[in-house]
Structure 1
Amino acid sequence: MSKRSAVDELLQRIADEFDSLPRQLQGVATYLEQQRANIMVQRVNEVADGSGVHPSAVVRFAQRFGYSGFSQMQAVFRSTYTEATTPARSYQQRIRKVIADGAEPISPAQMALRFIDASRVGLDELAGELDATQFEAAVELLAKAENIYVVAVRRTFGIASYIAYALQHTQKRVHLVSGLGGMFREQIRSIGPGDAMIAISFPPYGKETLYCARVAHQHKAKVLAVTDSALGPLARDAQAVLKVNEGSAFAFRGLTSTICLCQALFVALAYRLELKVEETSHPGEYDD
């Protein structure tokens, strides 16, 4: 059954205390979030250089959150990311590890139930941690947009494709940034003020998605980030952030919670837009 990783829990604690941290420690916090998949292989001096602080500040940061020093905190990242997000681990390698770690063969039905349980836990977490204020801001951002651009790559591309399809059922002009032929730059060059971008990405973050979000921000468009943390690199240029922590089984992360959140976003937006249509179609109907 899935649960939040130790890194997720640590980063949530950091996020909760971020505003109260000294400026130097805020720099360390931001760097840890941005480089979360790489911290396990970095030395304390590298983390300090990336954070723009002295190595002693990195040690103080670790101690602030209950660790004896950097090495003990680093072990949390190493334990999580060697199993979950190391890019070198191919799908075949993960399957082989499942076989090697199993005390006995797992039936197809047992695998299915494990994934269903992981998805159920992820949905429970999504329901319990949904930020109503951010969700409302996301709907309002999209409702005001003239054009909506949607971008995601690799495992989350299917979700981007779905939400672009769903949004086509509104009166909005919708653009799926697919990068076909490597043309990410060309597909988003017309984005500008009055437009919005939905960017979806999780660690290790897709560089193409991060690039598109930066361009949208530079062109004065609004960015809605669907990601795992408000401190992450995708959230940096976003006006609204919808956080999702997916359940996982057999070292494979699910997509159930993310697709559910995106479906809810579309329905809420369609409802908001239809209300506006009704108000325009029947002016004064409910006036005293």
Structure 2
Amino acid sequence: MPEARGSFVRMLQEQFDSLTRSRKEIARYLIDHLADAPVLTAEELARKTNTTSSTVVRFAQHLGFSGFSEMMRAAWDEHRLASTFDEAEDGQLHFRVVDDDFSGRSLRTDMRNLEGTMRKNRMDEFMDIVTLMEQADRVFLSGFFEAAMVVDYLYYYLAIMGLPVASITSNSEESVAQLSALTEESLLVAVGFGNAHQFLPRLIRAARAAGALTAGISDNDLSEVAKLADRNLYCALDTASFAPSLVAAYSLAGALVAALYARSRKKYDARLAKLKSLPLSSDWLV
């Protein structure tokens, strides 16, 4: 193994002897391929190390990370640090400018995220959630932190389509009060990534206690959101920086909107035509 230069690789080397065989395979790959590893999805890293994606996620959590994405961000940060300094003959590290293809790396990462998301999800589970959204007396959308942006996207287009929808993106009294409208015919769509906001699992439990069905959108099947929800969809969030990529999450949300639209195209077209005829000052989206 190469000599450790930063804290991430050093941590892998220090813990290596105490790891299980499968975890050693993952650690060895990360150490030997630090430059390439950060753009891999959990499934791709699992294939390269002859393990499983769940083993990869548990490995990240074993190291103290919240999940796979956080571990890969640490690997990326270390790769960037190693690429930005040269060691001179005097043993000192000297900064140098790195001409990195940020746009290309980010786009390639997003392409892998989309491919991984397509592989991870089952069509029958996806269509079940579409049906539940279509039949629910009200769809409650909830997510916090970055997930709130995906919730806002879904809320906007479901509202345009005229579906009864509510959005909960904070734990304020006004926001949570919307849950009083939950019935056995309602659906809660909970969006949460990594260690989701602690309030999100509580919302799922509250919805289930009210007899409502729940659907989760998360980044792995070991998350608390996935464990609690009745139906689940998954999206890859791997990133070339510290900020998780939401491309696959938005794409999945867009797919739900597209599937709903396709089921009643004429009805939705008529509503959209009516909305377009309204003045720009109209407060229809209230």
TM-score normalised by L of structure 1: 0.63
Q: Cα deviations across residues 196-229 of structure 1 (Å, max 9, x unaligned)?
A: 1111111112212222111111111111100123
2:35 maps to what in 1?
none
Letter in 2 for 1:110: D
TM-score normalised by L of structure 2: 0.64
Q: Do the aligned residues in 1 keep the contact of 2:60 with 2:67 (CA within 8 Å)?
A: no
Q: Do the aligned residues in 1 keep the contact of 2:138 with 2:165 (CA within 8 Å)?
A: yes
1:78 maps to what in 2?
63
Alpha-carbon shift at residue 102 of structure 1 (Å): 2.7
Q: Cα deviations across residues 226-262 of structure 1 (Å, max 9, x unaligned)?
A: 0123343112332211111222213432110010010
Counterparts of 2:54 and 2:68, CA distance in 1: 22
Alpha-carbon shift at residue 142 of structure 1 (Å): 0.6
Residue 3, structure 1, aligned to residue 40, structure 2: yes
Q: Which stretch of the first structure deviates more once superposed, 251-260 or 96-105?
A: 96-105
Q: Do the aligned residues in 2 keep the contact of 1:228 with 1:245 (CA within 8 Å)?
A: yes
1:131 maps to what in 2?
122
1:254 maps to what in 2?
245
Alpha-carbon shift at residue 106 of structure 1 (Å): 4.0
Specify whether residues 8 and 199 from structure 1 end up closer, same or farther in structure 2 by C-alpha distance, changes over 3 A only: farther
Alpha-carbon shift at residue 140 of structure 1 (Å): 0.8
Counterparts of 2:173 and 2:159, CA distance in 1: 24
Letter in 1 for 2:81: A
Counterparts of 2:170 and 2:210, CA distance in 1: 19
Letter in 2 for 1:3: L
Counterparts of 1:7 and 1:113, CA distance in 2: 19
Specify whether residues 5 and 145 from structure 1 end up closer, same or farther in structure 2 by C-alpha distance, changes over 3 A only: same
Q: Do the aligned residues in 2 keep the contact of 1:193 with 1:221 (CA within 8 Å)?
A: yes
1:164 maps to what in 2?
155
1:112 maps to what in 2?
103
2:182 maps to what in 1?
191
Which structure 2 segments of 5+ residues have no match? 1-37, 85-95, 270-286
Of the two, which has the highest radius of gyration?
A: 2
The alignment partner of 1:254 has SS state of coil
Equivalent residue pairs, number: 216
Residue 234, structure 1, aligned to residue 215, structure 2: no
2:132 maps to what in 1?
141
Counterparts of 1:6 and 1:264, CA distance in 2: 22
Q: With CA pairs under 8 Å and 6+ residues apart, which has the higher RCO, 1 or 2?
A: 1
Q: Do the aligned residues in 2 keep the contact of 1:145 with 1:194 (CA within 8 Å)?
A: yes
1:1-288 alignment runs, 5 A limit: 2-5=39-42, 9=46, 12=53, 77-78=62-63, 81=66, 84-85=69-70, 100-103=81-84, 104-107=96-99, 110-179=101-170, 181=172, 183-274=174-265
Counterparts of 2:66 and 2:227, CA distance in 1: 22
The alignment partner of 1:242 has SS state of strand
Specify whether residues 129 and 172 from structure 1 end up closer, same or farther in structure 2 by C-alpha distance, changes over 3 A only: same
Counterparts of 1:76 and 1:221, CA distance in 2: 32
Q: Do the aligned residues in 2 keep the contact of 1:94 with 1:251 (CA within 8 Å)?
A: no
Counterparts of 2:45 and 2:76, CA distance in 1: 24
Q: Do the aligned residues in 2 keep the contact of 1:143 with 1:273 (CA within 8 Å)?
A: no
Q: Percent identity at matched positions?
A: 15
Alpha-carbon shift at residue 139 of structure 1 (Å): 0.6
Counterparts of 2:189 and 2:60, CA distance in 1: 34
Specify whether residues 6 and 131 from structure 1 end up closer, same or farther in structure 2 by C-alpha distance, changes over 3 A only: closer
Counterparts of 1:134 and 1:140, CA distance in 2: 10
Which structure 1 segments of 5+ residues have no match? 15-31, 37-73, 279-288
Specify whether residues 75 and 201 from structure 1 end up closer, same or farther in structure 2 by C-alpha distance, changes over 3 A only: closer
Q: Do the aligned residues in 2 keep the contact of 1:167 with 1:266 (CA within 8 Å)?
A: yes
- RMSD of aligned residue pairs (Cα, Å): 3.5
